[in-house]
Each structure stands twice: as C-alpha cells, then as structure tokens.
Amino acid sequence: MEEHYPIDELWLRLLNDDSWEKDPAVRMAIVQSMRIDYVGCPLQVG
C-alpha cells in the first residue's frame, strides 16, 4: 500500500543526515537551495 507521509519529514532527515555531507553549514546550504528549486519554499527549521 502506498505510504503518504509529510514531504518535510524527508527534507528534515536530509538536513540532519551527515552520511552524505559532514559539514552542517554546507548541508544546510544545499538542502535550502534544493528546497527553493524543487519545492518552492525554504525548509522551516528550529
């Protein structure tokens, strides 16, 4: 059966996952630029 989960759940996990990028500042920059390009708004964090 198809799962229907909040989109932001995946994006928050990506932001906090250091397995693909160790530097949290770089991770934040990449995730937020992807959010603008592929979602249309920045990820709300904090």
Partner 1 sequence: MDTIQERMQYFADAIDHKEPKKIPCEIEVTGWPLAYGGMTLTEALADPVKGAEAYSKYLDDVPFDLHVMDAGYMWAPPIYNMLGSDLYTMGSDGVYPVHNQIGTEFASAEEYDMLLNNYPAYMFDKRVRRLYSIYDLPREEAYAKLKEAALATRNFRLFNAEIERRRLEKGRFQAVAMFAGGPMYRAPLSQICDEIRGLKETLVDLRRRPEKVDALIQILESMPMPLNPHWADGLPYKIGMTIYHIECFLNPKQFEKYFWEPFTRQYRPMMEQGVKFLLKGEGSFLNTIDYYNDLPDHSMIFMLEQDDPFEAYKIIGEKHTLIAGAPLELLQCGTRDECVAYAKKCFDTFAPGGGFIFGNNKPLLGARDAKTENIIAAYQFADQYSRQ
Residues that bind partner 1 (CB under 8 A): 2-3, 5, 7, 9-11, 13-14, 17, 19-21, 26, 29-31, 33-34, 37-41
- Shorter beta-carbon distance to partner 1: residue 39 or 45: 39
Contacts from 37-43 at CB under 8 Å and sequence distance 24+?
Answer: 39/7, 39/11, 43/8, 43/11, 43/12, 43/15
Q: How far apart are CA 8 and CA 3, in angstroms?
A: 14
CB of residue 25 to partner 1, shortest distance in Å: 13
- Shorter beta-carbon distance to partner 1: residue 29 or 45: 29
